[in-house]
Amino acid sequence: MYEAIKLLIRIKKDTKVIIERYKVFFEQLKDVDEVIVFGFSCSDVDFPYLHYINSITNTEKTRWIFSWYQGERRYDFEDLIRMIRTAERLNLERVGYTQLSNLM
């Protein structure tokens, strides 16, 4: 059990440090019209990145599109629910949802 805890501590993302390290990149996103989210689980560890991007973009003009990988139907539904909850937590005004294959 102790080894598992040590492993989790090593792989946990320090989002504040990562956002600060790449702040120049994130700041370049302030004028985007569209944010496409893919490759995120929309779990709690991803929320700080999405929250920061939302805080620097123009919420009235920026459209957010969340995408999910089309696997088994059960997982599609669970991913969609998680994305909807994330969008609600972010108070997004303009949001859409699509399968990842639709973006390719």
Both ends of the chain: CA-CA distance in Å? 42
The CA-atom distances, in angstroms, between 67 and each of 19, 27, 50, 101 are 22, 23, 14, 9
Instruction: Report pLDDT digits (tens) over 35-93.
Output: 998 877 777 888 888 999 999 998 888 999 988 776 665 556 777 888 889 999 999 98
Q: Which of the two residues, 11 and 100, has the higher pLDDT score? A: 100
Alpha-carbon gap, residue 77 to 73, rounded angstroms: 6
Tell whether 2 is covered by a domain. Answer: no
Domain containing 98 equals: 13-103
The helix/strand count (H/E) of the chain reads as: 5, 3
Residue 1 lies in a domain: no
Residue 79 belongs to a domain: yes
6 within some domain: no
pLDDT of the residue at 89: 93
Question: Does a structural domain hold residue 70?
Answer: yes
Instruction: State the pLDDT confidence band at 16, using cuts at 50, 70 and 90.
Output: confident
CA dist., res. 63 & res. 87, Å (int): 11
Instruction: Work out how many domains the chain is built from and give that number.
Output: 1
Residue 85 included in any domain: yes
- Separation of alpha carbons 62 and 94, rounded Å: 7
Residue 5 lies in a domain: no
Residue 48, in any domain of the structure:
yes
pTM (two decimals): 0.75
